[in-house]
Structure 1
Amino acid sequence: MRLGHGGGPSAGGRAEQAAERIAGLARNREPGARLGTKNELRALCGVSVSTFNEALRLLQARGLVTVRPGPGGGLFAAEQSPIVRLGNSVLALDADETTVAEAIRIRDALDPLLVEDALWHASPADIAEMRAIVDEMGRSADAGDATAFVHANWRLHHRIAETSRHVLLRSLYTSLLDLIESHTLSVLPDGARPLPPYLRERHRLHADLVDAIAAHDRAAAVRLIHEHSPVKQEAAP
């Protein structure tokens, strides 16, 4: 636990505790179930408005809750895809989780732009290197080695980004990847489903994505990057 100057939990620590308490409620409810209003949940956690807002930002960045305005609104348990569970449950981090969660969210939003660039600019040599990394992902998946799989996954995305001619986009994306990877200690099974079949499914998706890039098949690439996205697109509250 992080401590503030007075020896008690810091504001960030209180926000994390509040987020964990609400996350526990969300995990025990069906997707779409109402957890309560903001005021009700803030009172339950016993935190200030600013601390609760920080906790809410953490929960939304991790794809655990959705917020709906108006009568009958409040916080609702989000429907999570397997990759959201992977991101929430198996990354052991040594950094401020808020910073890393933000980096993951921004990186995911940039993925379609990088894939679009790769469709136009990836050379046969680029494709060959991507496929070599995909093969490494396949070997890790077969071995059930989630840590090796995730690191190979990041190398693949780094390699895709290198094909972009947009210096600012490429630099921002690779910096985000470096931040995420440098603060990830390990990847552990979360028990939600058998790990090797899940990793093989993700391997297939990335292999198909590289094939789409090689074939300049934009429709397939768009579909695959949408499948790849760990958070379903929702209407803004």
Structure 2
Amino acid sequence: MVADPPALRRADWELPATATAALRRPEQAAEQLAALAAAAEPGARLGTKEELRVHCGVSVGTFNEALRLVQARGVVDVRPGRTGGLFATRQSPLVRLGNSVLALDKDAASVADAVRLRDALDPLLVEDALRHAAPSDVTAMRAELDRMRTAAADLDGIAFIHANWALHARIADVSPNAMLRSFYLSLLEIIESHTLAVQPLGDEPLPEYIQSRYDLHAALVDAIDARDEPRAIALIHEHNMTAHTS
């Protein structure tokens, strides 16, 4: 039997846009439900199915798929009867990522390890991007920046962080080092697959936090485009200087 070749570039393992569009609504609704559960006390009633479906703004079929996703993650419990509905099962574990806190479904230790490794590899990938990024690569990075800006305007923290990770994946995709690229993308996959919600660390309001993170990433892409190595390396170190778990 001949094994399939590894998916070393993001395009090899990403679903087509038409497929991801179909998945996006259940996943977005699942993230909304998970964020409600993460903010609630264990055992707290989140609402009826219909109340939460309306809150998420989705169809019955989409909501049922979202409900299946969050039940599989173990963060909500569905109880029948007149006083039933959706209930938070437990507090989500938290991990610090830069100046933000991620609420996770489970296995916080693995995510924390993935974050630590990702941060260590970021400077290497930025160096590769400085040397090898073509105009089309920079265009792809700016497309992810546009997604970040749209999420920032909508004050959608989870959409913002997903677009942020997609930008880092685009930067990694430039590297000619197949082993480095594949390992980094696997780390992003681990972090992204377990993240339920994101909030700024401390008292900084969400709009200011999102804008500051967008500005930093926009400056990083500008530095890569300009082949400004000192500026790009300084920015990626600023990006990661507070990245540790707590």
TM-score interval, smaller chain = 0.5 to 0.7
Query: Once the two structures are superposed, what CA deviation does each residue of 1:160-183 show, in whole Å capped at 9, x if it has no partner?
Result: 000000011101100000011011
Deviation at 1:223, TM superposition (A): 1.0
Unaligned runs of 5+ in 2: 1-94
Distance in 1 of aligned mates of 2:121 and 2:173: 13
Q: Matched residue of 1:185: which SS?
A: strand
Unaligned runs of 5+ in 1: 1-61, 64-82
- TM-score (normalizing by structure 1): 0.60
Q: Which residue of 1 aligns with 2:115?
A: 104
1:135 matches 2:160: no
**What letter is aligned with 1:152?**
A
Q: Which residue of 1 aligns with 2:65?
A: none
Distance in 2 of aligned mates of 1:120 and 1:85: 29
Residue pair 2:98, 2:243 contacting (<8 A) in 1 also: no
- TM-score (normalizing by structure 2): 0.58
Percent identity over the alignment is 55
Q: 2:179 aligns with which of 168, 171, 176?
A: 168
Q: Which residue of 1 aligns with 2:227?
A: 216
1:149 matches 2:160: yes
CA RMSD, 1 decimal: 2.1
Distance in 2 of aligned mates of 1:232 and 1:129: 26
Q: Which residue of 2 aligns with 1:125?
A: 136
Go from structure 1 to structure 2 and tell me whether the alpha carbon gap of 1:183 and 1:192 turns closer, same or farther (over 3 Å shift).
same
Q: Matched residue of 2:120: which SS?
A: helix
**What letter is aligned with 1:176?**
L
**What letter is aligned with 1:99?**
S
Q: Matched residue of 1:92: which SS?
A: strand
Residue pair 1:143, 1:196 contacting (<8 A) in 2 also: no
Go from structure 1 to structure 2 and tell me whether the alpha carbon gap of 1:118 and 1:189 turns closer, same or farther (over 3 Å shift).
closer
